[in-house]
Amino acid sequence: MDEKINKEREEQSIRMREEQKVRLNSNVYLVYHILRENKRKLRQQLEMNLREMQEAFLNNRDSAHFREQDAKMLLASNNNFLCDIK
């Protein structure tokens, strides 16, 4: 009788350890999946932000270039105007 009880306890203990391993593995997989998904989302966000920053930089540089050209043209026309007055 004692042997049966001890054997049953041992088998139950083995089953519990196996179940814990399975739960641990499923939790590890779940965490891995969540981390992978978050990494993918973060990468997409960073790529989108980088694209927006590059576009803003190019637009600002272009507009600065054209503003500079307009300023040079205005200065040249003002100089011509002043020369014509003298």
Q: Which of 16, 13, 12 is nearest to 24 (CA)?
A: 16
CA dihedral 43, 44, 47, 49 (to 10 degrees): -110
Helical (H) or strand (E) element with 30: helix 2-85
Per-residue pLDDT of the chain in tens (86 residues, 90 and over written 9): 788 888 888 989 989 998 888 888 888 888 999 999 999 999 999 999 999 998 888 887 777 777 788 888 888 877 766 666 65
What pTM did the predictor assign?
0.49
